[in-house]
Structure 1
Amino acid sequence: MKKISTKISLFILIGIIISACNAEKRVPDGKQLLASNQIIVNGKKINTEDVHEQLYQKPNGTFLGYRLRLNLYNLANLNPDSTYQAKFTNHPGKYERKSKWLSAKQVDRLGKSFWYHGIHDFLKKTGEPPVIIDTIKTQKSVSRLKYYYFNNGYFDVKVNSQHDTVKPKRGKIKYEITTNNAYTLDTIKAIISSHQLDSLYKNAKETSIIKSGNQFKTIDFSDEKNRLSNYFRNHGAYYFQPTSIVFDIDTIGKKHKANVNINIGNYSYQDKDSTIVEPYKLYKISSVDIYTDYAPNTNKQNITDSISYQNFNLYGREKIKYKPRAITNAVFISKGSLFADYKTVLTSRYFSNLKIFNAPSIQYEIDKKDSLHNSLIAKIYLTPRKKYSFQASSDFTHSNIQDIGISFSPSLTIRNIFNGAETLEISARANVGSSKDLANPNNQFFNVSEYGVDLKLNFPRIFLPFSTEKIIPKSMIPSTQIGIGYATQKNIGLDKENFTGAFTYNWNPKQNNTARFDLLNIQFVHNLNPQNYFNVYSSSYRALNALGKIYNINPDYVDTDNNLIIDQGAAGFIVDALTQQTSLTPQSKEYKEILSIAERRVRLSENNFILASNFTFTKTTKKDLKDNNFYQFKAKIETAGSLLSLLSKTIGLDKNSNGNYDIFKLEYSEYAKTEFDYIKHWDLSRQNVLALRTFFGIAVPFGNSDYIPFSRSYFAGGSNDNRAWQPYSLGPGKTESILDFNEANMKIALSAEYRFKILGDLKGALFADAGNIWNVFDNVTDKKATFNNLSSLKDLALGSGFGLRYDLSFFVVRFDFGFKTFNPAEESGKKWFRDYNFGHSVLNFGINYPF
């Protein structure tokens, strides 16, 4: 009853606050607050964003239908200094009394404090002043609407505005638009002064944006001007200027049609006091000169070394330290070819990607040796970065598993290590942390640690004994990376060493596409403390111990309290039970439960050797960090162990007692894995964004394996997944999640999030996350955990909630509250909204958006 009365009181209080906020509080007499804009086009109301964006005045913003920022502004005192002084004016002697126990200076400074002044400055800055209807701005809106429709071909458009009163101090503006018929393009002719440009235009005419029969749109003419300018400059017209293109629109004597004349004049430039006009001409590259160690702060380069290599000229102030091929491979500008802007861009992009030079400077000048002055010398100025660079970073972290973490990561980069523009990066990492949730028998504060070192060698080309130029041309900026790494971890109690190696090819098939092929991806996981398994996975131990108290027959396996001794007693009881030395039979439920615990123990505590190959393709339409209207698609295919199986069969290796092959006395993993990840964002205007993510992944063991190693399996829950569950706590399937770290080999995830602005850089989100993990095609037989057919989709868990995000420009701090909306692990009738309250909510902290 007390909780109910508290909630009722809270709702009443909120209602009082909202009702006390008068939206028209600061609207002057005789003026009106703009309540809404209404646009009627040819008798129909429209809400098209592009049209509404033409209006000079828009109503105050709302949060869930409530004018939050306006009411915050109305709560502010616009003249806090006058109010503070009035306290003393209206109460003579008060200033003197305060000055007796506070100095006069402190009393004056009190008026500038947060409570008297700062809070009102905050409310004014955070809030939004009322939008007062302004007739001048209304007329500007009429003009902009007329201009907008005119630019879309409605030359006879008529726009009127009407001011309607909603309340004494509140009004709305209605804009009525009659477009009449739109004009379409009729005859299109081109008049080009330069014969060389005229020939180019005929080749580019078919892909023209403006075509006969299209509706007139100003934007199309702008796009066509850019298209022609790019085409000309990419086909030799070095001096071409977009201003030379003029469109002449003729509607005289036409009924809703317009003739278009494309006029492209000659090149004009200033030569001292004279203006020179001459036809545009096309230029070829007569020489490509590369300055490998250019000093930008001096005009005296003092060239002492030079190399001529495959029609390229390399110059150096000192002895050239690069193999010529390493430099010329990055250059797309070639001797004898026509000048092309895109080649300049590609060359600059390639050199920047090498990471051994600063951004290059590429300049062109007329070759004076050419009597016709139709040739250009391309000069590429390269300023090398330091050969050695050292970086270090430290970080304090917090996660759902680690309460506090301190990390330090130094790295050393060595550039041009073999004189072929290669880079070698040597990095180390050290992390110590504390977690109260993990096994910690010695009660140490820092009970989590990781130390590691990685070496990455990058070659700016495909490293193969044969040429791949026809398959992966250098315009795709290919590279090869060889990496090895070692890490030792002390985290969840098993402790492990992790050895990794990779031989990777990277390239960009298109500007926004990336491809990665791991020819070899090697991982060896060595568990250092497998006997500590039941200390770590306490849920498994409790389930096993409960069965041991009933079925164990060996007194050496238990302590004085009849609990199974870790590890000898627990392991011994498992062996006895599975070899039918107890009263349990393979048909019994308890036998199957012990078998499941045993299989999981083997899976999570045994060493793993993985030799895999994988291919990853990513495509995105995202232009920059602020782009809120894009999609991203990522697909990955991976196979492991098949090469080792082929070799084992070829050389006739014997199988072990489990019927599998060993490498270094270790059963290697064999599986096929595929993943698909799709993200879509819709910009709903005014910083409102709808984001969607779908993910599907499956890994199928075969041959030498009947399950997927832990490092390659899937888990559900966490700040970037289903936010109503902690990491590893959801699934598999409709199991009750009694295990400490739940994983499986198939995953489906779906997330939708609506993001909106609240106040300034503070933003909010409403989200729903659906998904789960299952076992499929492996050795798990529990029907609750396995994916059998499409009917298993009814076990998709659903979490929903809200989040707060603060945008710091360079990253976003995120807090999300997730609530279990549909929990497949609950019994029938209790799956929906069973734990939908703050007491059972999950608070997720993250950096940047989840997707």
Structure 2
Amino acid sequence: MKNKLYLYIILLQGIIVSCSTTRNIPKDDQLYTGIKKIVIEKDSGVVLPPALNSNLTTPLAYAPNNALFGSSSIRLPFPVGLWIYNAFETPPTKGLKKWFYNTFSRKPVLISNVQPDLRVKVVESMLRDFGYFTASTSMKLIDGKNPKTAKIEYFIHIPKPYLFDSIQYVLKNTRADSIIRDIEPQSLLRMNEQYSVQTLENEQTRVAKTLRNDGYFYYRPEYLLYLADTTQVKDRVMLRVVRDPILPPSVLKPYTIDTISVQVNVQDNDEPVDTVHYKGLNIYYQGKLKVRPSVLRRNIALRRGDLYSQAEQTRTLQNLNRLNIFKYVNLQFAPVDSSAYNPRLNMLVNSELEMPWQAEIEMNVAAKSNDQIGPGLLFTVSNNNTFGGGEKLAMQLKASYEWQTKAVKDATGSKSLLNSYEFGLTTSLTIPRILLPHFIKSDGKFPRSTKMSVNADLLTRAGFFQMLSLGGGLSYDFQTSPSWFHSIRAFKLDYTSVLHSTAKFDTTMAGNPAIELSFRNQFIPSMGYTVTYEPPASDTKKNRFFWQGSFVEAGNILSGIYGITGRHKNDTVKTLFGSQFSQFVKFTSDFRWYHQLAKKTLLAFRLYGGIGIPYGNSSVMPYSEQFYIGGANSIRAFTIRSLGPGSYRPPKGLQYSYIDQTGNIKLEFNAEYRFPIIEELHGAVFLDAGNIWLLHNDPKRPGGTLRAKTFLKDIAVGTGVGLRYDLTFLVIRGDLGIAIHTPYPNPDKSGYYNISKFKDGLCFHLAIGYPF
């Protein structure tokens, strides 16, 4: 150990003595020390398109030695890697020196490595692709104090772009040309718009897509050509659109589908291949056919005699893959006779079934704001092809334990750390189509499913209560366009019953009758509808929107049936199987807006609102349907269920005070600035505000109702900073919330900033995924 330490000291002394970063620089080269500056000059009125503006200087970026976070212009002051590299005349070939050299040395980044002349040409080419044909770029080497080092200055001049002048489609009289002529009014090419190679390529793709959806199997985007003339009108492009005059005859012929064959689990072995003919399908398989022929036919969009369509080919692949029963699916088309007047294609669907049974175990550790911590387990077993049509039968077992970090004495005076547990079992059957009702129409372009489920859950809360929850339901999920998603909860019946309660819990409930009512034994027969609007993501759009609205009603249909039949006509409380059922309506709305500032940099906003109204058979909402606020995905300066309702604050030291902190109304606003730091590490600065309120006054929770004169004071506000590590499939997030304003007054701190001590307003959250 002493010998190694001695060697390190000798090596470091030698490196410090040499302290040269240019010792091994070739005679006709220089050490690159970064970009000094990038000068961009624009003519008056020039506004760069977003796609160009965010990427214009990207080709110029090149990190020098000892760059700070990969920066092209900022370097760390001590180039240790270069010192080590230059301390050796030749790289050591063995021993500790070799390890030390390979681990810590850094090869010099030379001007010849950077190739600045080539980089400015790339930028110039990018500008020309967007119509800046007379743009110019240049570079200049700036020698350092040491003439063997140099920085680079880049200069970019951007003139006004060329615009499209006249646009003329020059076509012949073939069927394909007639189709192109018919869709010309929808052309992406417009007079007086800026010239763009991307627009030209998009038009080629649009035309090719139209033709390939009309039988032209061999047509490709590059068969549409452009002839551009920039000499006739200044700063203008005269464009002629023509079809490639030299094309194989097969390209200009529409193809129809002939035979359709499906191979399921067919391998190259000696096992015999069986065949089933079903409504135009030839199905070949080995062993037992584990998928129903009707399912295959329903999900194959093309039929014999149809014109070939690229859209229907894509739809067929999507439909079959959505079943989640295939390991792989691919489609092949073979021409029968391309020389014929009406050529045909044989279609082959080649597939292999996935193993239907799957098991998944998920383990986690939860730490809660009520001084409880403990592990959780989710075990799921599923069969993804229960009846041969992609039906998914799943059973999920949930178990969790919680220990109190602060032990308390029970009635006997003994202490216990095992405070609570939960067991749950959920069984569900998901069918990849809509069974009933038939009014939900679908053309098969988008996914849809029917789900039936039953569940049971046993929850024990430390020293308080034991609750049994039973439930079951039927729901439909479907999509009507690329942007609109719908979920109909056709029926759901939940039952909750407190099996056992302690004196401590009974005392808490006796002191708060409104909360006690929400814990009563009750049925919750409900229906609901959720609609989501989320346009597909696009690299060319700077703004992205998301909106989700939901409506839930409970007990109204059952109450109406009782009214019609005259049952419970004179009863103040209506029951189902001897227990009172809940009656309420609930509305929520979640709006989000994302604004792209630059690549990987954006502003994100969320506005959430909700209201629940009990009536008729209920005076309060069921506890599970009430709103709460705070936590990692809400107002991050406060822990979950630690705010509201209104300005109400539970007495200090009251255990399980979070039970009181729910409400009928919720309003929340979040804003976040997200930016890259280095590679997969990103940062965020955020602002959160909001609260929950009661609809009616509760003497046990003073200040809990929503009132106009105290509305602004009731809004809790917090800010903070965060780090996110993006693993592509997973985002690990750490947020440090900083409280600014609490809705409840603090006697020792007046004013809007009413946090007693700065450290008391800090709250850290470790979570998975973005908050919104």
* Alpha carbons of structure 1 residues 82 and 180: separation in structure 2 relative to 1, 3 Å: closer
Q: Is the 8 A contact 2:225 2:241 kept in 1?
A: yes
Counterpart of 2:636 in structure 1 is 723
* SS class of match (2:206): helix
Q: Is the 8 A contact 1:81 1:111 kept in 2?
A: no
Please give the alpha-carbon distance, in whole angstroms, between the structure 1 residues aligned to 2:120 and 2:177. Answer: 42
Query: What residue identity is the alignment partner of 2:517?
Result: V
Please give the alpha-carbon distance, in whole angstroms, between the structure 2 residues aligned to 1:800 and 1:53. Answer: 31
* SS class of match (2:328): coil
The answer as to 2:374 corresponding to 1:453 is no
Q: Is the 8 A contact 2:167 2:241 kept in 1?
A: no
The answer as to 2:680 corresponding to 1:761 is yes
* Alpha carbons of structure 1 residues 165 and 408: separation in structure 2 relative to 1, 3 Å: same
* Alpha carbons of structure 1 residues 157 and 696: separation in structure 2 relative to 1, 3 Å: same
TM-score calculated relative to the size of structure 1: 0.76
Please give the alpha-carbon distance, in whole angstroms, between the structure 2 residues aligned to 1:423 and 1:494. Answer: 35
Counterpart of 1:527 in structure 2 is 498
* Alpha carbons of structure 1 residues 264 and 30: separation in structure 2 relative to 1, 3 Å: closer
Q: How far apart are residue 520 of structure 1 and its match?
A: 0.8
Q: How far apart are residue 315 of structure 1 and its match?
A: 3.7
Counterpart of 2:256 in structure 1 is 284
Please give the alpha-carbon distance, in whole angstroms, between the structure 2 residues aligned to 1:247 and 1:301. Answer: 55
* SS class of match (1:755): strand
Q: Deviations over 1:413-432 (max 9, x none)?
A: 22433344422112212222
Q: How far apart are residue 288 of structure 1 and its match?
A: 2.6
The answer as to 2:320 corresponding to 1:351 is yes
Q: How far apart are residue 234 of structure 1 and its match?
A: 1.1
Counterpart of 2:358 in structure 1 is 389
Q: How far apart are residue 504 of structure 1 and its match?
A: 0.8
Counterpart of 1:630 in structure 2 is 544
Counterpart of 2:752 in structure 1 is 831
**Identity of matched residues, %:** 20
Deviates most, 486-495 or 635-644: 486-495
Please give the alpha-carbon distance, in whole angstroms, between the structure 1 residues aligned to 2:161 and 2:429. Answer: 65
Please give the alpha-carbon distance, in whole angstroms, between the structure 1 residues aligned to 2:470 and 2:331. Answer: 44
* SS class of match (2:417): coil
Counterpart of 1:845 in structure 2 is 766
* SS class of match (1:188): strand
Q: Is the 8 A contact 1:39 1:45 kept in 2?
A: no
The answer as to 2:771 corresponding to 1:771 is no
Counterpart of 2:159 in structure 1 is 179
RMSD of aligned alpha carbons: 4.0
Counterpart of 1:701 in structure 2 is 614
- Where does 1:14-93 land on structure 2 (aligned, <5 Å)? 33-42=34-43, 50-51=52-53, 53-55=55-57, 56-58=59-61, 73-75=76-78, 77-78=80-81
* SS class of match (1:444): strand
**Match of residue 593, structure 2, among 667, 680, 701:** 680
Q: Is the 8 A contact 1:35 1:170 kept in 2?
A: no
* Alpha carbons of structure 1 residues 615 and 75: separation in structure 2 relative to 1, 3 Å: farther
Counterpart of 1:602 in structure 2 is 517
Please give the alpha-carbon distance, in whole angstroms, between the structure 2 residues aligned to 1:761 and 1:149. Answer: 29
Aligned residues: 725
The answer as to 2:718 corresponding to 1:806 is no
Counterpart of 1:188 in structure 2 is 168
Q: Is the 8 A contact 1:305 1:319 kept in 2?
A: no
**Match of residue 251, structure 1, among 222, 227, 230:** 230
TM-score calculated relative to the size of structure 2: 0.83
Structure 1: tracts of 5 or more residues without a match: 1-23, 87-104, 269-275, 536-565, 575-593
Deviates most, 609-618 or 835-844: 835-844
Q: How far apart are residue 135 of structure 1 and its match?
A: 12
Higher strand fraction: Structure 1 or Structure 2? 2
Please give the alpha-carbon distance, in whole angstroms, between the structure 2 residues aligned to 1:374 and 1:757. Answer: 54
Please give the alpha-carbon distance, in whole angstroms, between the structure 1 residues aligned to 2:446 and 2:206. Answer: 23
Please give the alpha-carbon distance, in whole angstroms, between the structure 1 residues aligned to 2:524 and 2:769. Answer: 32
Q: How far apart are residue 290 of structure 1 and its match?
A: 2.7
* Alpha carbons of structure 1 residues 788 and 334: separation in structure 2 relative to 1, 3 Å: farther
Deviates most, 724-733 or 174-183: 174-183
Please give the alpha-carbon distance, in whole angstroms, between the structure 1 residues aligned to 2:39 and 2:269. Answer: 63
Counterpart of 1:462 in structure 2 is 434
Higher helix fraction: Structure 1 or Structure 2? 1
Q: How far apart are residue 785 of structure 1 and its match?
A: 1.0
* Alpha carbons of structure 1 residues 830 and 214: separation in structure 2 relative to 1, 3 Å: closer
Query: What residue identity is the alignment partner of 1:740?
Result: Y
Counterpart of 1:307 in structure 2 is 277
Please give the alpha-carbon distance, in whole angstroms, between the structure 2 residues aligned to 1:674 and 1:468. Answer: 24
- Where does 1:412-427 land on structure 2 (aligned, <5 Å)? 412-427=381-396
* SS class of match (2:415): coil
Counterpart of 2:648 in structure 1 is 735
- Where does 1:178-327 land on structure 2 (aligned, <5 Å)? 179-180=159-160, 182-192=162-172, 195-265=174-244, 278=250, 280-291=252-263, 293-295=264-266, 297-298=267-268, 302-309=272-279, 311-318=280-287, 320-327=289-296
Q: How far apart are residue 665 of structure 1 and its match?
A: 2.4
Query: What residue identity is the alignment partner of 1:525?
Result: T
Q: How far apart are residue 57 of structure 1 and its match?
A: 3.0
Please give the alpha-carbon distance, in whole angstroms, between the structure 2 residues aligned to 1:70 and 1:258. Answer: 39
Q: Deviations over 1:99-154 (max 9, x none)?
A: xxxxxx9xx769968xx997x68xx89xxx99x98998554454344333332334
* Alpha carbons of structure 1 residues 641 and 449: separation in structure 2 relative to 1, 3 Å: same
The answer as to 2:463 corresponding to 1:502 is no
Please give the alpha-carbon distance, in whole angstroms, between the structure 1 residues aligned to 2:222 and 2:97. Answer: 61
Counterpart of 2:5 in structure 1 is none
Deviates most, 333-342 or 407-416: 407-416
Q: Is the 8 A contact 1:771 1:798 kept in 2?
A: yes
- Where does 1:615-654 land on structure 2 (aligned, <5 Å)? 615-621=529-535, 623=537, 630-654=544-568
Q: Is the 8 A contact 1:458 1:481 kept in 2?
A: yes
